[in-house]
Amino acid sequence: MRDRFRDWNLLHKSVVAVIAAVVFSVVFRLVLVIDAGFELTYEKVMPYSARDIWAFIDDDKNRVRWQAELVDTQRLTGDMVQAGSTRLLFWKRGYKTWHAVEQTKEALPERLFATIQESDRDQRWYRIELAPEGECSTRVSVREVIRPKAYNKRFWFFSEEGVHDARWDASFAALDRWLKRSVGDMCAGREAGSETP
């Protein structure tokens, strides 16, 4: 019986090329994440004024209400929106709990809040910006850079991006819910009132 596939050499070369490509990509990823941080950005236009949204950013109790996975905060030094002030944050994801020390790096009332968080698991740079787009419309932009401390967590970080996206989706939904409770339809009334002559 004769073999129909005549060029077995081509098959071997292609298998070796595929294996070499896989090995090269793994080695490249190993080198790439040696000292890597991962940037995550989220943005949403909310139908509230920057002043109303700021009340949920600069207050410890309100921040716990809307920021997903954040369970509690304890002030260590200074006021939350004072540069250099510190807080102890308690986090929970599923059954995993951890804590982090957070320090305020920048704060501009009703515009910007930036911090750095240090825990046993990771280091995070967190920045939230409010850009008013009208009397009752504000663009909320969140930029978070996460640098896991464990090398294997940095290597496999791409597999957890969905968890972080879901966390911010839940956070924005909770912020919207709490703003509706506290502010109500004040902006709807203002917009409707501004349209009448």
In this prediction the pTM is 0.76
Between 128 and 182, the higher pLDDT residue: 128
- The dihedral region occupied by 71, where left means phi > 0, alpha psi between -120 and 50, and beta the remainder, is alpha
Between 5 and 37, the higher pLDDT residue: 37
Tens digits of per-residue pLDDT, 137-146?
Answer: 999 999 999 8
Tens digits of per-residue pLDDT, 21-34?
Answer: 988 888 877 776 67
Question: Confidence class of residue 191 from pLDDT cuts 50, 70 and 90?
Answer: very low
Q: Helices (DSSP H) in 33-72: which residue ranges? A: 50-57, 60-66
Hey, is 42 helix, strand or coil?
Answer: strand
Q: What integer pLDDT is reported at residue 48 of this predicted model?
A: 92
pLDDT mean across residues, the chain: 85
The alpha carbon dihedral of 159, 70, 101, 129 has a sign of positive
Question: Confidence class of residue 188 from pLDDT cuts 50, 70 and 90?
Answer: low
Question: Confidence class of residue 155 from pLDDT cuts 50, 70 and 90?
Answer: confident
pLDDT over 90 at 16, yes or no = no
Hey, is 47 helix, strand or coil?
Answer: coil
Q: Helices (DSSP H) in the chain: which residue ranges? A: 8-32, 50-57, 60-66, 151-155, 161-182, 186-195
Q: What integer pLDDT is reported at residue 89 of this predicted model?
A: 94
Topology of domain 37-195, CATH: Alpha-D-Glucose-1,6-Bisphosphate; Chain A, domain 4 (3.30.530)
| Domain residue limits, the chain | 37-195
Question: Confidence class of residue 51 from pLDDT cuts 50, 70 and 90?
Answer: very high
Between 155 and 62, the higher pLDDT residue: 62
19: tokens are 């294996």
